[in-house]
Amino acid sequence: MNNVRFLLTGDTSLTVEFGNEINESINHDIRAYKIALEKAGIPGIVETVPTYRSLMVHYDPSVIRYGAFREKLEQLLGEMAAIEIPPSPMLEIPVLYGGEMGPDLPFVAEHAGMSEEEVVRIHSSAEYLIYMLGFTPGFTYLGGMSDKIAAPRLKQPRVKIPAGSVGIAGTQTGVYPIDSPGGWQLIGRTPVKMYDPDREVPILPEAGQYIKFFPVTQEEYDAILREVEAGTYSVKTHARKEG
Amino acid sequence: MSIRVIQPGVQTTVQDLGRFGYQQFGVPVAGAMDPRSMKLANLLLGNDPGEAALEITIMGPQLVFDETNYIALTGGDLGASLDGKPMPRYQAVKVQAGQTLRFLGLRNGCRAYLAFAGGLDIPPVMGSRSTYMKAKIGGFKGRKLEAGDELSFRDPKPDLLFPERRKLGADFVPQKQYDLRVILGPQDDHFTEEGLQTFFREVYTVSAEFDRMGIRLDGAVIEHKNGGDIISDGIAFGAVQVPTAGKPIIMAADRQTTGGYTKIATVISADFRILGQLRGGDKVHFVPVTVEHAQTSMMLEQNYYNMITDFLKRDRGL
């Protein structure tokens, strides 16, 4: 762990910076450090916030002061090599592509010079790393989309995009967790609620996990939606094979 | 029902100390803009300092009480009047069913906090009663109060021990210019030497854009080395964000959890009480301090809270 920097972010948090670019290896280090931190059980930690390049650690100075806290965080860097990192969970997210749910699929296909089916095949075959969440509750910043289906943002953003919409903007893809305005090209929609403030686990995805989309038919979409609304649907999750 | 909202005021929301533990999922913390005033209002009533209270902004509401309870009002002076008589601030006041609380107009500061003995009957969402309006989470139906809303006390106290002792001196004192103590970082190395000197030398003016998300300042442009864009990282309460245009924005309670602009410094916790009371036209000046200084100030503040709690529990006066 060379290049790791400790940045001051006020009197109740510290940011541990692992690099200054967006790549999987930095994200892996952040996840490893977060797991090591949780295992170390340092008293006074309030919460941690992983981002593309850093882990922000919030703490309570009435429990532990800055000097002692920083020393513990530095020590932990040296112990990271010995920490066993479990394989990342992969969330399987059902998507009804095209039609009313994905009004921009024809544009994305035309822009890519391929059929709609080919766009769907490419979009649903990749494994997307969740680098971080931010912007709105439950919004995931995903990496790993193929350049082949990249598409520019809408010239005129939509005023209201329904929660669950799956979109593409440049080489980014993602799911809108709540109804919001936005300029992404919409290619489909998931019946799964990525975010539900009243659920025991309000937000499904977590930084460091992976997402894979799988296409469903209208009938399957409707059936899953009924289960989601009854609170009986659980997203299929399995350990991702490394490499 | 215990409280009926006749007029809602400009922006009256339920807030506690914020929603912690969900920032990693993109959920902003929210919570009181001036946490000290909120804590003092609660302590006067024997509540937990983090009990949910009403945060009242600039123009206050008109409220009618349907149930007897003790209440306390702190923070900025918004001209509170109970049944036509000035309502004392920084003091536990018994309100009877049928009484009306009005706010006649802003005298100083920006936000008042109205706490209720035994708290409000509001279900916590993700561990907090704070309203985060943008995502419609928490507080009263996830929004600011509207005329016709009805709120309930959770555990009202028609009687409190030592009511005469429950009084503090006014804690917020308006000033011509506020010194805001800051800790340098996290992106201080993205600014030129000249930029850093500008930041600490100049006096900045709060612009017309100041809300629960951020306080935009006008004043001298702060010079970057290579612009104000960074790869997103986490944002703390009080972070002073400087986008490429060079004008600082102090990030407040409803800030997004992450952002892609350079942050030159962070206002210390002990000075959040000032942030919550700033409004358009106020002058601020940034003063650098160490983390150790900031944490000592926090502990002194904590000692003051403990002293109040102890004093109100003791069966004989000082």
Q: What is the DSSP string of chain A?
A: --S-EEEE-SSSEEEEE--SS--HHHHHHHHHHHHHHHHHT-TTEEEEEE-SSEEEEEE-TTTS-HHHHHHHHHHHHHHGGGSPPPPPEEEEEEEEESTTT-TTHHHHHHHHTS-HHHHHHHHTTS-EEEEEE-SSTT-EEEE---GGG-BPPPSS-EEEE-TTEEEEEBTEEEE-SSSEEE-PEEEEE-SS-SB-TTSSSSB---TT-EEEEEE--HHHHHHHHHHHHHT----EEEEPPP-
Instruction: Please tell me whether residues B158 and B218 are part of one structural domain.
Output: no
Say what the pTM is. Answer: 0.94
A129, A212 contact by CB (below 8 A): no
How many Å apart are CA B19 and CA B133, to the nearest integer?
A: 13
B205 within domain boundaries: yes
With beta carbons less than 8 A apart as the criterion, state whether B40 and B108 touch: no
Closest residue in B to A10 (Cα) is B266
Mean pLDDT, residues A225-239: 94
Same domain, B235 and B130: no
pLDDT of residue B318: 46
CATH topology agreement for domains A5-82 and A89-239: no
Is B191 in the same domain as B145?
no
Is residue B302 one of the residues assigned to a domain? no
Question: Which B positions 254-273 lie with beta carbon below 8 A of chain A?
Answer: 256-259, 263, 266-269
Express each pLDDT in B99-143 by its tens digit.
999 999 999 999 999 999 999 999 999 999 999 999 999 999 999
ipTM of the complex as predicted? 0.95
pLDDT tens profile A6-19: 999 999 999 999 99
Q: Is A9 on the interface with B (CB under 8 A)?
A: yes
Asked if residue B51 lies in contact with residue B40, where contact means CB atoms within 8 angstroms, the answer is no
Listed residues B165, B193, B224: the one ending a domain: B165
Flag if B24 and A50 touch (Cβ within 8 Å): yes
Domain residue limits, chain A? 5-82, 89-239
How high is the pLDDT of residue B316?
54
- Other beta carbons within 10 angstroms of residue A68's beta carbon come to 12
Q: Look up residue B301 and give its two tokens.
A: 């503040």
Query: Is residue B288 domain-shared with residue B225, that is, in the same domain?
Result: yes
B149 shares a domain with B16: yes
Query: How large is the average pLDDT for residues A129-134?
Result: 95
Chain A residues with CB under 8 Å of B294 CB are 10-11
By Cβ distance, the residue of B27, B134, B183 closest to A10 is B183
Least CB–CB distance from A134: residue in B185, B232, B302: B232
The yes or no reply on domain A5-82 and CATH 3.30.1360.40 is yes
State whether residue A2 sits within 8 Å of chain B by CB.
no
Among candidates B279, B184, B270, which has minimal Cα distance to B222?
A: B184
* pLDDT for the residue B315: 61
State which H helix or E strand residue B198 sits in.
helix B193-201
B234 close contact with A: CB closer than 8 A: yes
Q: Hey, what are B148's tokens?
A: 């016709």
Residue B61 lies in a domain: yes
The answer to whether residues B160 and B12 belong to one domain is yes
3-state secondary structure (DSSP) of residue B7: strand
> For position A75, what pLDDT does the model report?
95
Q: B199 and B113 share a domain?
A: no
User: By the 8 A CB rule, do B22 and A203 touch?
Assistant: yes
Q: Please judge whether B22 and A50 are an interchain contact, meaning their C-beta atoms are less than 8 angstroms apart.
A: no
Cα B244–Cα A50–Cα A78 angle in degrees, nearest 5: 115
Query: What is the nearest CA distance from B213 to chain A, expressed in angstroms?
Result: 13
Given the DSSP bridges, would you call strands B283-288 and B177-184 parallel, antiparallel or unpaired? parallel
Q: Chain B contacts of A177, Cβ < 8 Å? A: 26
- Per the CB < 8 Å rule, is B183 touching A61? no
CATH number at residue B216: 2.40.100.10
Q: Which tens digits make up the pLDDT trace of A167-187? A: 999 999 999 999 988 899 999
pLDDT digits (tens, 9 = 90+) for A57-98: 999 999 999 999 999 999 999 888 888 888 999 999 999 999
Residue A41 forms contact with B (CB below 8 Å): no
DSSP category for residue B203 = -
Quote the number of domains for chain B: 2
**Residue in A115, A179, A178, A113 with CA at minimum distance from that of residue A151:** A113
Give the range of the structural domain holding residue B145, as residue numbers without chain letter: 3-165
Of the candidates B134, B184, B294, which has its C-beta nearest A11's C-beta? Answer: B294
What percent of chain B is modeled with pLDDT above 70? 99
Residue A144 pLDDT class (50, 70, 90 cuts): very high
Contact across the interface for B237 and A139, Cβ inside 8 Å: no
Of B234, B263, B291, nearest to A66 by CB-CB distance is B291
B260 occurs within a structural domain: yes
pLDDT attached to residue A52: 92
Say if the Cβ atoms of A202 and B256 lie within 8 Å.
no
Mean per-residue pLDDT over chain A, rounded: 94
Q: Given CB atoms, is A125 within the 8 Å cutoff of chain B?
A: no
Could you give the angle at the alpha carbon of B312 between the alpha carbons of B308 and B317, nearest 5°? 105
Q: What is the CATH number of domain A89-239?
A: 2.40.100.10
Can you list the residues of chain B whose pLDDT is less than 50? 318
Q: What is the pLDDT of residue A79?
A: 85
Residue B300, in any domain of the structure: no
Set of chain B residues whose Cβ sits within 8 Å of the Cβ of A194: none
Q: Do residues B134 and B242 both lie within one domain?
A: no
Report pLDDT for B299.
Answer: 97
Which position has the token pair 């005021």?
Answer: B9
Same domain, B149 and B8: yes
Q: For residue B314, what pLDDT is reported?
A: 72
- Residues with Cβ within 8 Å of residue B38, at least 6 apart in sequence: B15, B16, B17, B32, B49, B53, B55, B74, B75, B113, B115
Which residues have C-beta within 8 Å of that of residue B142, sequence separation ≥ 6? B131, B132, B133, B135, B136
Among candidate residues B87, B285, B94, the one with its CA nearest the CA of residue B181: B285
Q: Do B182 and B131 belong together in one domain?
A: no
Which A-chain residues 172-191 have CB contacts (< 8 A) with chain B?
Answer: 177-178
